A and B are shown apart, each in its own frame.
Chain A
Amino acid sequence: MTHTLHRRGNEDSLRDDFVIFAIAAQSVNAKGIAPKFEDFYRIVKKHNPSNTGDMKKGNEFVLGDEAVGRDMLDNSIVHAVFNDEKTVVKVLKELKEADLGLSIVVSGIIHSIDQCCRKNDMKMHTVERSLGIWGKRELLPDEPVLEISTMCGHGMIPFKLVDKMAEDISRNRITTRDAAVVIAKQCHCGVVNVPRVERILDMMAGK
């Protein structure tokens, strides 16, 4: 649920953070739809996403993108991360033309998504908004850790791992890119935005 909704960050931090994913309704149109997920994957891959994954199999940093793109299942949920609005407009255009029948969901800054839809003569159908985190907030770490950890909505990125990667970068034990990939590998769905993680880790490490 809402696995790409509650990503933390201000407008500057989130400006390059878009996820497009495809899902079928198990009670309506899922039976026999697996090949359509492969069509979806071919379309998104043409536009150089910075991460991809299928919740049923794993992400491209663990499996490689060829493995992500084959053997889709009727209950696959297939994701691709993009880093600019222009590309999202192009991907949506192709998905609209392909008419796959899959439900397509876009996560990102709401007014940007609205623009992407309008440029393709599409309308937002159903909108979901986050009202933030409620309850015992004193249990939470600092905001930069949250910004990285919440990129995996299933909670697969431990707070401690984020701190450890930032510390290792600051001590030159690991490159920022490698640290971001270590973090991205934890998220099966492939929705971690690796360039954004790199940017936040560098800030945490004082680089």
Chain B
Amino acid sequence: MEINKETCIGCALCVNYCPMSCISIREGRSFIDQDECVECGVCKNSGVCPVDAIYEPEMDEKRNLRKTFSNPLISHSSTSVPGRGTEEMKTNDVTGRFKMGFTGIAAELGRPGTGTRFSDVQKVAQACARHKVEFEPLNPVTTIMTDRKKGLIDDRFLNEKVLSAIVEFIVPDEKVKGVLEDLMKISNEIDTVFSLDICGVADASGKPFFEKVVQEMGLEFSINGKVNVGLGRPLAEVL
């Protein structure tokens, strides 16, 4: 996003509408730090500017990448899914993406509210790749990897900043503990945060396998969660 200096009146109303806190007032006009701006569009879409001085300039490939990962109204071309571009467990009753015996893990870098460079996304992806995880093919981060076995991301994008990006993969249940241990280690080596989630098919008792592993490791779940209640059709085989 950019500010039209001719029309901006320097009222500063837009300053509070930037999730990256990259709008400031300089020389009496709003100023957007382009290196920090993730092209999420919140400032413009809020309609807060009284003189309509916020605009989206023509974007090159890198700025478009920022926008695609940061503005949830944009459907990722690789998946046709708006938001962060992945259906993950939301459609698991129909896709059978996660089957019994396997656990899905997703680290959403930059969430909540800090943003992330792809260099940090790559660090996390590499840590996971060492466990020979299967990165989710229908996920936008996976599509910009140049080497999925090593978790390497296209060099051109490593310094690009986005609101959030999800490293998402599936592992056999027996690998869950090792992956979580390595995620703990790598979390100390990044300049941002990630929100971590874990998912799996519920067994006959109503519990997914991973709950036992997480409890044995002494980690704590949030009390809330998300449940696919199995009403999608046609039902996929997950056993």
Contacts and interface: CB of A to CB of B under 8 A. Distances in A.
A26 B94 CA distance: 10
B84 A107 contact: no
A154 B180 CA distance: 24
Counting chain A residues whose Cβ lies within 8 A of the other chain, the interface size class is 35 or more
Contacts of B80: 26, 75
Nearest to B162: A155
Interface residues of B, number: 88
A173 interface: no
Nearest to A27: B95
Contacts of B226: 2, 4-5, 105-107, 127-128
A131 B224 contact: no
Contact of B231 (A56, A104, A130): A104
A167 B42 CA distance: 21
Interface in A100-132: 100-110, 113-114, 117, 122-132
A47 B199 CA distance: 29
Given A107-B224, A131-B221, A154-B72, A125 B230 contact: yes
A3 interface: yes
A155 B211 contact: no
A9 to B, nearest CB: 7
Given A133-B112, A136-B192, A155-B164, A114 B206 contact: yes
Contact of B198 (A9, A131, A153): A131
Contact of A160 (B18, B83, B88, B197): B18
A11 interface: yes
B230 A123 contact: yes
B223 A11 contact: yes
Given A6-B222, A103-B232, A156-B19, A149 B113 contact: yes
Contacts of A154: 72, 83-84, 163-164
Contacts of A24: 91, 94, 232
Interface string A160-204: 110110000000000000000000011011000000000000000
Interface in B71-102: 72-73, 75, 79-95, 98
B94 A103 contact: yes
Nearest to A25: B91
Interface of A: 1-11, 14, 17, 21, 23-29, 55-56, 75, 77, 92, 95-96, 99-110, 113-114, 117, 122-137, 139-141, 146, 149-150, 153-161, 163-164, 185-186, 188-189
Closest 7 CB pairs of A and B: A125-B230, A103-B232, A128-B199, A25-B91, A101-B233, A154-B72, A134-B187
